[in-house]
Amino acid sequence: MKVLRGSAIKAIAKTRPAPGAELIDAPMPAPRESTLLVRVGACGVCGSDLHIVDWELGAERMVARLPVILGHEPAGEVIEVGAHVTNFKVGDRVALDPFGHCGRCGPCSAGRFHLCATPTTLSGAFAEFTVAPIGNAHLVPSTMNIEQAALLEPFGTGLHAVEQSCLKAGDSAVVEGPGPIGLSIALAARALGVTSIVMTGLAVDADRLALARTMGFRTVSTGDRDWIDQARALLPPDGADVVFDAAGAIDSPRELLRRGGQLVEVGWPARDLKSAELRALFFHGVTIINSRIRTPETWRRAIAMVSSGAVDLRPMVTHRYSISHGLEAFDLLRERRGVKALIIPSD
């Protein structure tokens, strides 16, 4: 593909420190020394994009970066490589991780890249083309469907959460929150051999719970007064080994967990845990684990799980938008409709 330097590309950008986003014409990006120019095949729309668009929940920290092209869950094809790039070539298919690690701080030196003290964040993929450092790029097989490749980022977050837990084949888990991360946790747990998985969601999540059922998971709506009894009936008598909170609001984990079980926080905790609840978890012997993002190792396993067919991420995609119609994806997300929306720049 011939790259037209100086030509304009369509993109979705945040231009002002106020609610809203805009469709803009941006200059065609050019790769620098150790970066790749990628033609975006698909880019996931994430809850954090909505926080930025609506200018809420800490989005103000982006003020110095404005204007900025949004979009951080892309997959696509390498069109051009920077002068120092030796490990990728034109035509490679890549998925991009929005988090870059410095490689020099204490956690990075210990191999805990997801805990990097000075991470960088990538954006700019709600566009026809984007540039990314090679450290953020992961090679995916050319046979992998590009939509699945774009879902590797949230799936990696789910897989990482499962890997942080004690789950083993034959164990049981509750996943609170039937969004893309919750479904990714459930898919990863099932692939690992976890045999009893219950997903819970709010009454407004009815569509998402219905999708979870079509994907083979048992679900309970926390809008039902007896939802804890319903969930317990689907679990071993002593409760679940692990409860994952992918909803940012913990629903009575103690009642669902076996003694000595684990509570894994995956979503941004959105409500205060009262000390009475923490005491109950203490006496129940519950270990609380915070799991954020992914590691390069998670990427390796996520790519293998998806490309081998052990996990199918495609059912999660409920909506697709061209860049011109991309702003509609934020309305969808705000109204909690659908599960995963993708921006498909070529549409």
Interface with Zn ion (CB under 5 A) = 46, 48, 101-102, 105, 108, 116
Closest CB 80 distance from Zn ion, rounded Å = 26
The two structure tokens encoding residue 78:
């390498």
Closest CB 4 distance from Zn ion, rounded Å = 30
Residue 113 or 129 with smaller CB distance to Zn ion:
113
CA 161 vs. chain centroid, Å, equals: 11
Q: How far apart are CA 323 and CA 325, in angstroms?
A: 5
Residue 109 or 346 with smaller CB distance to Zn ion:
109
Residue 31 or 100 with smaller CB distance to Zn ion:
100
- Looking at residue 233, its amino acid is A
Residue 116 or 215 with smaller CB distance to Zn ion:
116
Place of tokens 């120019």: 37
Closest CB 106 distance from Zn ion, rounded Å = 8
Closest CB 148 distance from Zn ion, rounded Å = 16
Closest CB 101 distance from Zn ion, rounded Å = 5
Closest CA to 18 of 49, 69, 57, 52: 52
Q: What is the DSSP string of 46-104?
A: -HHHHHHHTT-TTGGGGGGG-SEE---EEEEEEEEE-TT--S--TT-EEEE-SEE--SS
Instruction: Dump strand ranges (E) for 162-286.
Output: 172-176, 196-201, 218-221, 240-245, 257-265
Residue 49 or 241 with smaller CB distance to Zn ion:
49
- Judged on CB neighbours under 10 Å (0-12, 13-18, 19+), 237 is exposed
Other C-beta atoms closer than 10 Å to the C-beta of 170 total 10
Which residue has the closest beta carbon to Zn ion? Answer: 46
Closest CB 158 distance from Zn ion, rounded Å = 12
- The two beta strands, 35-44 and 129-133, are antiparallel
Residue 114 or 232 with smaller CB distance to Zn ion:
114
Closest CB 117 distance from Zn ion, rounded Å = 5
DSSP state of 224: S
Residue 116 or 134 with smaller CB distance to Zn ion:
116
Residue 14 or 218 with smaller CB distance to Zn ion:
14
CA angle 333, 339, 342 (to 5 degrees): 75
The full length of the chain comes to 347
Alpha helices in 177-274 (DSSP H): 180-191, 206-214, 227-233, 253-256
The two structure tokens encoding residue 58:
């800490």
Closest CB 330 distance from Zn ion, rounded Å = 13
Residue 102 or 234 with smaller CB distance to Zn ion:
102
Closest CB 337 distance from Zn ion, rounded Å = 18
Q: How far apart are CA 21 and CA 59, in angstroms?
A: 13
